[in-house]
Homo-oligomer: A and B are copies of this chain.
Amino acid sequence: MGDLHWETKLSATSENGIRIRGYDLVQLIGTVPFPSVLYLLFTGELPAPNVAKLIDAIMVASIDHGAGAPSALAARTAASGGASLGSAAAAGLLTLGKYHGAAVQDAMEAIQKVAELANREGSGAEALARSADAVVAEWRQADRRLSGFGHRQHKRQDPRLARLFALAREAKVSGNYLESARALEDALKRSTGKELPINIDGATAAILCEIGFPASLSNALFMVARITGILAHANEEIQEMPPMRRIDPVDHGYAGPADRVLPIS
């Protein structure tokens, strides 16, 4: 061991194998589903079954948001200039900033603050409302954007939201943080006069608070999910479109399979 020796807590490789947080990767393959191994790598432990289901659900909810998402457009633009699939995806990934996807961590901070304040103030709907008002006021005073609320396209409620919250209730992890997110939604309306419903980032944030997911990796969860959609868009651009085309961000349609329902399993 030299002067520069350093250590990781994530994984180890040797000629005989690879270990992820102490588990033999070979034993994980085909036994533990991918989102649960992601959870293991990110948090240090395998998820309980109800948590595993929620992580999978959050990742599916975030996998793609159509060809008009800035990240998809940036990846297509790079591909159109001649970028390889991986380089185009990197351009898309760089687009996932504080206004687009990488907002989960900020939303977790606000939701946790509301829950903490409410907890200190005693329980009940009123304490929650007061706490949410206080957080909204604090964020406004500091001129900070309150991430996780409002969406350019889904003016009412993001359709993915009700589904995620229902799954959280089913998984019995629905508690203070989901209520805090709702309280923030109401407080924002009182403060701004506008409907700024919880969006996918906010819903993800609330559920991740409930399950104790590390805030510093919450945006990473979104990134793994969304890079999938980004790669699909970049690939379609490379395979199907002429190079150097002018990519209109609005005037595009869908030409894939017609609406269909899942086979009952």
Contact = CB atoms under 8 A, between A and B. Distances in A.
Interface of A: 1-2, 4-13, 15-35, 37-38, 41-42, 44, 46, 53, 56-57, 59-61, 63-68, 70-71, 73-74, 77-78, 80-91, 93-102, 152-156, 159-160, 162-164, 167, 216-217, 219-220, 223-225, 227-229, 231-233, 235-236, 238-239, 241, 243-262
B78 A256 contact: no
A86 B8 CA distance: 20
A77 B80 contact: no
A85 B32 CA distance: 26
A67 B8 contact: yes
Given A41-B232, A91-B91, A220-B231, 19 more contacts: A8-B254, A16-B159, A20-B63, A23-B261, A23-B262, A25-B60, A27-B261, A29-B164, A30-B163, A30-B167, A38-B63, A44-B256, A78-B95, A81-B96, A84-B84, A91-B95, A217-B231, A217-B235, A224-B231
Given A78-B95, A159-B16, A159-B17, A5 B57 contact: no
Copy count, this protein chain: 4
A42 to B, nearest CB: 6
